[in-house]
Chain A
Amino acid sequence: MNKSFEPWLYLAPMLLFILLLVLVPLITGISYAFYNFDLISGTREFVGLDQFIRILNEDEIFLTSLVNTLFWTSTSLFFQFTLGLALALLLNNGFRGIKLIQPVLFVPWAVPSFLIGLMWVWMFNPVTGPLPYLFEWLGLMDLPENILSDPDHAMWGPITANVWFGIPFFTIMLLAALRSIPREIYEAASMDGVSGLQAFRHITLPLIAPTIIITLMIRAIWVANFAEIIIVMTNGGPANSTQIVATYIYDTAYQKMDFGYASVLSIALLFMLMIYGFTLGHIRRKMKVYI
C-alpha cells in the first residue's frame, strides 16, 4: 500500500464528519463577523471590518471580560488539575473499598452543566444552602451572605462549581494513562535501585506527559469557552464581575441579537486560544523526544 496514503485512510471516516458538521458551520459562523444583522427587516448588510474596529476601540466590557476569562480559566484549571492528579495517584495506588468509591468520585462529570449551576446556586444561597454558614463559622465572612452577590468574590462561586465538575475529567484521563504504563518498567527500575519519588519523576511523569499536555490544552480551551455554569449562577454579574468572553458572546448573540458582533468577539477569543494552543503543542512536540 502507498505509504503516504495509508494514514489518510484511517482518518477518512472521522474527517468526513468533522468537515460536514463542524468545519462548514464554523466557517459560516466566522463569516457573520463581516455582516451587520438587522433584526427588524431580517436582512444583513456587508460591513467589512467595521465591527473589528469597534472591539479594539470602544468596548470596555470586552477588556473586563478578557481579564475575567484569564482568572476563571487559570484558577479553575489549577485546582482541577492538581486535585485531579492527586486523586488519580491515590486511585492508582489502590485502597480498601476502591471498587465502590471510584465510580462515586466520577459522578460530578456526569451532571449536566446547567444542573451543576443550579445546584451550587442553592448551596451558596443563605436561605437554602449551608455554605454561607460554613464560611461564617470559618471566619471568612462576618455574616452568612451570598458570595454570588459580592462583586469582589462572586467569581469564586462558579469556579467552585467548575472545579467540582472538572476534577473527574483529569482523574479519569490521568488514571487511564497511569494504568497503561507496563508494570515491568517499575520492576526493572526497582531492581536498579530506583523507586519512590525518583521513579515518579523519571518514569511516571515522562510516560503520562503526553496525556497531561493534551488534557491541559483541551481543558483550558473548554473552560475558557464554558459559559453555562456562569450564565446559570450569576449571568455575568454583579456589575460584570463574572463576565467572561464566552458569556459576553452569548449575551451579545442571544440577548442583544447582534450575531455580527458576537462573531467578532468569538474570533478574538479564538485568536487568543490559538496562541495558547500552539504554545502547548510546541511543548508537546519537544517532549516526544523523551518517549
Chain B
Amino acid sequence: MKVIKYPFIIGFLTFTLFPVFWMFKISITPDRLLYSEGIVAWPSNTTWDHYYAVLIEGSFPDYFLNSFIVSITTAALVTIFAVLGGYALSRFQFRGKIALLIILLLTQMFPIVMVIAPIYNVLTYINLVDSISGLILVYTAFNLPFACFLMQSFYDGTPMELEEAAMIDGCTRMQALEKITLPLCLPGIGATLGFVFTAAWSELLFALMFISRQSQMTFPAGIMNFVTKFSVDWGQMAAAMILALIPVCIFFAYIQKFIVQGLTAGALKG
C-alpha cells in the first residue's frame, strides 16, 4: 500500500501544479522573450513588471477587496441557511418534501444564460443593480440548493441515534442539533463553506452582466475587463491569475482544519 501511495501523490501533484507553474513562468517572462524563446522550462531573463503593472496600475486591489467581501458574505449566508434547510430535509418526513426536492433540483438544470435578463429585472425592482449587495443576494440564492443537498447528505451520513438519545435525555431539538450533530458535521460545514466561497470567488457571468461600476467590480470581472480593454496582455493576465489564487489557497488552508479534524472520535463512547 505504502509503495504505490507516493507515486500516485506525485502524479496528482504534477497534474495539478504543472499548468499553474507554466502560468507563473509566463507571468515572469519579459514580453519580448515570450514568443522568441519558444518552449523552454525557464526563461533566460525574468521580470516582476507584470505583477507591478497589475498591482499598482490596475484597480486590482479594489477588485480583490470586493471579491473577498462578496465571497465571505455569500459563504456565511449560504452555510447558515443550508445548515437549517438540510436538517429539515434529512430528519423530517413531511408533505410536499418530494415536490420541494424536485424544485430544488430543477433550479440547477436550467442554463444560467437564460435567467440573466429576468434576474436583472428583479434586481432593478429592489434597486440593487450594479452593487455587490445585489451580487451577494444572487450568489446566495444560486448556491443554496446545492449547499442544502450537501448538508442533507452529511446529516444522512451521521447516526441519528446520538441525537435521539440526547433528546430523550431532555435536550430540545435545537440543543441536540447544536451539541451533538453539528460537531459531527463540522467537516461537511467546512466543505460547504469552502465550496461556496470559491464558487463566489470565481463566478464571472453574473458579475459581468450585473456590475458595470469599477468600484463594485469583482476579481474575475476585473480580469475580463482588463483583457478586453488592453487586448490580451498575457504576462499581466498570468500575473493576475497567480495573484487570484493566493487568497483562495489561504482560505482553503484554513477551512481544511474543519475538513481534516472530523471531531467524531469518542462520540459513540461518550
Contacts and interface: CB of A to CB of B under 8 A. Distances in A.
Interface of A: 4, 6-11, 13-15, 17-18, 20-26, 28-30, 32, 83, 86-87, 90, 93, 95, 99, 101-115, 118-120, 122-123, 127-130, 133, 164, 167, 169, 172-173, 175-177, 179-185, 207-208, 210-211, 213-214, 217-218, 221-222, 225, 227-228, 246, 249-250, 253-254, 259, 262-263, 266, 269-270, 273-274, 277-278, 281, 288, 291
B32 interface: no
Contact of A254 (B5, B8, B113, B154): B113
B82 A115 contact: no
Contacts of B165: none
B241 A115 contact: yes
A28 B195 contact: no
Contacts of A274: 105-106, 109
A107 B23 CA distance: 13
A110 B245 contact: yes
The A interface, classified by DSSP as helix, strand, loop or mixed, is helix
Contact of A118 (B150, B205, B237): B237
Contact of A32 (B8, B101, B109, B114): B114
Interface in B222-254: 223-224, 234, 237, 241, 244-245, 248-249, 252-253
A260 B114 CA distance: 10
Given A184-B268, A211-B157, A105 B109 contact: no
A158 to B, nearest CB: 14
B11 to A, nearest CB: 10
A163 B82 CA distance: 27
B39 to A, nearest CB: 6
A155 B248 CA distance: 29
29 contacts: A4-B94, A14-B85, A15-B85, A17-B81, A21-B137, A103-B252, A110-B248, A111-B202, A112-B223, A128-B34, A129-B22, A169-B195, A173-B191, A177-B187, A180-B184, A182-B267, A183-B264, A184-B268, A211-B150, A211-B153, A225-B112, A249-B111, A254-B113, A262-B114, A266-B111, A270-B106, A270-B110, A273-B109, A291-B156
Interface in B74-108: 80-82, 84-85, 87-89, 91-92, 94-95, 97, 100-108
A74 B100 CA distance: 27
B111 A269 contact: yes
Given A180-B158, A218-B108, A8 B88 contact: yes
A86 B12 CA distance: 10
A114 B115 contact: no
A180 B188 contact: yes
B18 to A, nearest CB: 8
Contacts of B153: 177, 210-211, 213-214
Given A112-B219, A177-B157, 11 more contacts: A6-B88, A28-B118, A107-B249, A110-B202, A112-B201, A112-B204, A182-B159, A208-B157, A218-B149, A274-B109, A288-B156
Nearest to A161: B19
B144 interface: yes
Interface in B135-159: 137-138, 140-142, 144-146, 148-150, 152-154, 156-159
Contacts of A26: 106-107, 110, 115, 118
A29 to B, nearest CB: 4
Interface in B209-225: 219-220, 223-224
Given A29-B110, A112-B244, A214 B149 contact: yes
B85 A10 contact: yes
A42 to B, nearest CB: 13
A102 B62 CA distance: 29
B47 interface: no
B8 A270 contact: no
B154 A177 contact: yes
